Structure 1
Amino acid sequence: MSASRFSLTLDRSGDSPYYRQIYARIRDAVADGRLRPGDRVPSIRGLASALGLARGTVEAAYDLLIGEGYLLPQGQAGTRVAPIGPHAARLGRPRPTAPAGALPGPRSVRPFQLGLPALDAFPHALWSRLTARRLRDADRLADGYPAPAGEPRLREAIAAHLALSRGVRCAPGQVFITAGYRHTLDLVARTLVRPGDTVWIEDPGFPPTRLLLETHGARVVAVAVDAAGLQVSEGRQCAARARLAVVTPSHQSPLGVALALPRRLELIAWAAASGARVLEDDYDGEYRYQGRPLPALASLDREGVVYYAGTFSKVLLPSLRLAYVVVPEPDLRRFEATCAAFHGGCPQLVQEVVADFMLEGHFARHVKKMRNLYAQRRAAVVEALQAVFGARLRVELQAGGMHLLVRLQGRTDDRALARAARRAGLEVQALSDWQHQHPVEPGLLLGFTNVSSPAVARSLADKLRTAWRP
Structure 2
Amino acid sequence: MHVHDILAAATLERDSPTPLFRQLYVHLKDAILDGRIAAGVRLPATRTLCGLLNVSRQTVLAAYEQLMAEGYLQGTVGKGTFVSASLPAGARAGDAATAPMVRPLSARGELIAGGMARVLHHAGPLRAFRASMPGLDLFPFDVWRRLEARHWRHSTGALGYGPGAGYAPLRELLCAYLKASRGVQCTPDQVVITSGSQQALYLLAQLLLAPGEAMWIESPGYQGAVAPFTVAGARVCPVPVDAEGMDVAYAARHYPDARLAFATPSHQLPLGVTMSLRRRLELLRWAEANRAWIVEDDYDSEYRHTGPPLASLQSMDRAGCVIYVGTLSKVLFPALRLGYVVAPPALAVALARAKAVVDRHSPIVPQATLADFIAGGHFARHIRRTRDAYGERRQALVDALDARLGGRLRQGPSDAGLDLCVHFTERLDEEAVARHARDVGVDVRTLGYYTNPQAGAACAIDPGLLLGFSAFTPDAIRAGVADLEQAIQRASV
Q: TM-score range by the shorter chain?
A: 0.7 to 0.9
Kindly state the Cα deviation for residue 330 of structure 1 after the two structures are TM-superposed.
Answer: 4.3
Kindly state the Cα deviation for residue 423 of structure 1 after the two structures are TM-superposed.
Answer: 2.4
The within-5 A match list for 1:364-379 is 364-379=380-395
2:99 aligned residue:
none
Change (3 A) 1:390 1:268: closer
1:440 aligned residue:
461
Q: Does 2:153 correspond to 1:140?
A: no
TM-score (norm 2): 0.72
1:46 aligned residue:
none
1:122 aligned residue:
139
Matched residue SS, 1:253: coil
2:437 aligned residue:
421
Change (3 A) 1:308 1:333: same
1:110 aligned residue:
127
One of 320, 323, 327 as aligned partner of 1:311 = 327
Question: Does the 8 Å CA contact 2:447/2:464 hold for their aligned counterparts?
Answer: yes
Q: Does 2:178 correspond to 1:158?
A: no
Question: Does the 8 Å CA contact 2:191/2:348 hold for their aligned counterparts?
Answer: no
Kindly state the Cα deviation for residue 333 of structure 1 after the two structures are TM-superposed.
Answer: 3.5
Is there any run of 5+ residues in structure 2 with no aligned partner, and where?
Answer: 1-122
Name segments (4+ residues, structure 1) moved above 3 Å.
none
Return the alpha-carbon distance in structure 2 between the equivalents of residues 195 and 352 of structure 1: 37
Give a deviation string over 1:362-415, Cα, whole Å, max 9, x none: 111111111111000011111112222231222223321110111112133212
Return the alpha-carbon distance in structure 1 between the equivalents of residues 355 and 405 of structure 2: 50
2:31 aligned residue:
none
Give a deviation string over 1:156-189, Cα, whole Å, max 9, x none: 0100000000000211010000111210100111
1:326 partner letter: V
1:146 partner letter: G
Question: Does the 8 Å CA contact 1:415/1:433 hold for their aligned counterparts?
Answer: no
Kindly state the Cα deviation for residue 271 of structure 1 after the two structures are TM-superposed.
Answer: 0.9
* Alpha-carbon RMSD: 1.4
Return the alpha-carbon distance in structure 2 between the equivalents of residues 322 and 353 of structure 1: 12
1:431 aligned residue:
447
- Name the stretch that deviates more: 417-426 or 460-469: 417-426
Return the alpha-carbon distance in structure 1 between the equivalents of residues 370 and 124 of structure 2: 24
Give a deviation string over 1:300-332, Cα, whole Å, max 9, x none: 011110000111000001000111010113423
Kindly state the Cα deviation for residue 190 of structure 1 after the two structures are TM-superposed.
Answer: 1.2
Return the alpha-carbon distance in structure 2 between the equivalents of residues 416 and 237 of structure 1: 37
Question: Does the 8 Å CA contact 2:273/2:413 hold for their aligned counterparts?
Answer: no
Question: Does the 8 Å CA contact 1:196/1:218 hold for their aligned counterparts?
Answer: yes
Return the alpha-carbon distance in structure 1 between the equivalents of residues 291 and 311 of structure 2: 24
Is there any run of 5+ residues in structure 1 with no aligned partner, and where?
Answer: 1-105
Return the alpha-carbon distance in structure 1 between the equivalents of residues 348 and 164 of structure 2: 14
Count of aligned pairs between the two proteins: 363
2:273 partner letter: V
One of 361, 364, 369 as aligned partner of 1:348 = 364
1:226 aligned residue:
242
The within-5 A match list for 1:227-306 is 227-306=243-322
The within-5 A match list for 1:75-86 is none
Kindly state the Cα deviation for residue 107 of structure 1 after the two structures are TM-superposed.
Answer: 5.5
Return the alpha-carbon distance in structure 1 between the equivalents of residues 274 and 332 of structure 2: 24
2:268 partner letter: Q
TM-score (norm 1): 0.75
1:468 aligned residue:
488
- Name the stretch that deviates more: 189-198 or 208-217: 208-217
Matched residue SS, 2:226: helix
Give a deviation string over 1:63-94, Cα, whole Å, max 9, x none: xxxxxxxxxxxxxxxxxxxxxxxxxxxxxxxx
Identity of aligned residues (%): 43
Return the alpha-carbon distance in structure 1 between the equivalents of residues 359 and 392 of structure 2: 40
2:148 partner letter: T
